[in-house]
Chain A
Amino acid sequence: MAFWDYANPTRFLKLVQVLLPWLVGLCVIFFAAGLYMSFFMAPEDYQQGNTVRIMYIHVPAAWLSMMCYSVMALSSIGTLVWKHPLADVSAKSAAPIGAAFTFMALVTGSLWGKPMWGTYWVWDARLTSVLVLLIMYLGLMTLWRTMEDPIKAGKAAAVLTLVGALNLPVIKFSVDWWNTLHQPASVVRMDGPTIHPDILWPLMVMATAFTLFFFVIHLMAMRNEIMRRRVRALRLRAAASSHPGTAAATAQPAE
Chain B
Amino acid sequence: MDFGSHAGFIFASYGLCLLTILALIAWVRFDKAHQDRSLRELAEQGITRARPENESKNAR
Name A residues whose Cβ lies closer than 8 Å to a Cβ of B.
Answer: 39-40, 49-51, 53-54, 57-58, 61, 96-97, 100, 103-104, 107-108, 111-112, 114-115, 213, 217, 220-221, 223-224, 227-228, 230-231, 234-235, 237-238
Q: Are B32's CB and A57's CB within 8 A?
A: no
A-side contacts of B21, CB under 8 Å: 213
B-side contacts of A235, CB under 8 Å: 42, 47
Question: Are A53 and B10 also in contact (CB < 8 A) when A61-B17, A104-B16, A217-B28 are?
Answer: yes
Contact of A111 among B3, B4, B9, B42 (CB under 8 A): B9
Contact of B9 among A114, A213, A221 (CB under 8 A): A114
Q: Are B49's CB and A234's CB within 8 A?
A: yes
Of chain B, the residue at the smallest CB distance from A235 is B42
Q: In the complex, how many residue pairs between chain A and chain B have their CB atoms under 8 Å apart? A: 86
What is the interface residue range for chain B against chain A? 20 to 34
The majority secondary structure among interface residues of chain A is helix
Q: Are B6's CB and A115's CB within 8 A?
A: yes
Q: Are A234's CB and B42's CB within 8 A?
A: yes
Alpha-carbon distance A202/B51, docked complex (angstroms): 53
A-side contacts of B24, CB under 8 Å: 96-97, 100, 217
Alpha-carbon distance A117/B28, docked complex (angstroms): 37
Contact of B28 among A61, A108, A115, A220 (CB under 8 A): A220
Alpha-carbon distance A250/B4, docked complex (angstroms): 62
Closest chain A CB from B35 CB (angstroms):
4
Q: Is B13 an interface residue (CB 8 A)?
A: yes
Closest chain A CB from B11 CB (angstroms):
10
Closest chain B CB from A252 CB (angstroms):
13
